[in-house]
Amino acid sequence: MESLEDQNKKSFLKLEKVAPSVYESLQDLKRTGWVNRGVENPESVKEHTEALVALAEEFYQFLTEEETDGLVDMLEVHDWPETIHGDEVILELDPNNRKALKDAKFENEKKVLATICEDLPNGDEIMALWLRFENSDDPSAVFGRQLDKYQAVEKALEYEQTQGIALFDEFLRFSINFIHHPVLLKRIEELKLKWGG
């Protein structure tokens, strides 16, 4: 089985070569959740993506082959639409309202990604990866979406400890509704101990 690190090396070079302007845009785009809460020098969307890939590599040994299949590729492209659409945050927890908001966001982002992919030689592949991440219930996509939520909790603790802004409890209470993988739940318990809550 190919290691996640090897998958990452191949994927990152391939996708960065194909669409360097996407990566430049994502580097300039700061994550909305942190900006709205007054975090100084918040992470960019590109830095968020790189953090997700690093976490995937860290957790790799605890995941099944099905959970790592295509994981890095999906993580790399999952936020590409934000280069045009922006980093829209949906905090609604009511299932009916949340579904309507998520559906609208999905359609908008799909249109944006179709525009980005239009002139790319592997545009169909990129769109397929994005759709898999967004819609699929295969183990890798499910883990990837949960990892996306987990990373925000981890980052919230970092910002709370370094900048004194109360963030961890808020992000934990929201994200825990969407995180079920035992590896991530175990790590959340470790974060709680660091937080002291």
101-151: per-residue pLDDT in tens? 778 888 888 998 999 898 888 889 999 999 999 998 999 999 999 999 999
Structure tokens belonging to residue 184: 């991530």
Listed by start position, the domains of the chain span: 4-195
Domain 4-195 has CATH 1.10.10.10: no
Confidence of residue 13 (pLDDT cuts 50, 70, 90): very low
Confidence of residue 2 (pLDDT cuts 50, 70, 90): low
51-71: per-residue pLDDT in tens? 999 999 999 999 999 999 999
